[in-house]
Structure formats: structure tokens, C-alpha cells
Amino acid sequence: MDEFSAHLKTVQNVFYFFLSFCLVIWAVFVEFRPYAAGVMLGACASMINAKYLAWKIRKLSDKVIAASSAKQKGPYRGNIGFLTRGAIAALAGIAAVRYPQYFSLPTTIVGYFFVQLATLVLGIISIKRSKPQ
């Protein structure tokens, strides 16, 4: 789990850098404000979802380990909070639809995938670094 936490911390640092970059774009280029704000809104929803998923995975793994050490019989029923994560994404989308002068819906949808793409890229970089050459 230590690698999982470290990887999430790295993604969080990349997220903060990306958010500050988008904020600079929002401040400097007035005509691109709805687009930058939309990407920031979607990326924030994506990061909240990633943090929530990490929390649910830790909680679920602790329960499974406790159940296996207690030699309990039968399947363990647990979920990873898909409805909650979907509601967070829907809330960001509703905000973009409700206030189109502040947020762009297409860029909000693009921002939804930021954390997943950052995790993929950082995972590939991590694999490349760990391979002996």
C-alpha cells in the first residue's frame, strides 16, 4: 500500500501543477476563461473521485484482510462507491450546464479524464525507471 499512497501523492502534485497552469491561463487570456475554468472544474471532480476511490479501496482491503484473518466463511460484499463518484462528476457537469458563461461543458468533460491520464503516464514512467538497463 505504500507504493499506492506514493503514486497517488505524485498524481496529486501533478494535479496541483496543472491546476496552477490552468489558473494562469484563466488569468492571462480573458477570451479563454470559460475553457480554462471548465478544465479546472472537471479536473477537480476527477481528483475528488480519485481520492474517494483510494479511500474506498483502502477501507475495502482492510475489511477483506480482517475477514481472512478471522477465517470467516462466505463472500464479503463491498462496493467502491461508483454512484458517489458518478454523482460528483454529474454535479460538475450540471454546474457547467447551469453556468455556461463561466464554464465550458466540453472542456469540463475533458477535465474528467485528467487524473486517469496522469496516473497512466506516471505509471508508464515508473515502469520505465524501474527496469534495469
Q: What is the pLDDT of residue 33?
A: 95
- Looking at per-residue confidence, does 126 or 74 come out higher? 126
**Cα gap 3→127, rounded to integer Å:** 13
Confidence band (pLDDT; 50, 70, 90) for 74? Answer: low
More confident residue, 129 or 2: 129
The pTM for the full model equals 0.86
pLDDT at 75: 64
Reference 41, options 90, 111, 133; nearest CA is 111
Q: In the structure grid, which three cell numbers stand for residue 49, read together?
A: 473521485
List all residues 6 or more positions away from 57 whose beta carbon is below 8 Å from its beta carbon. Answer: 4, 80
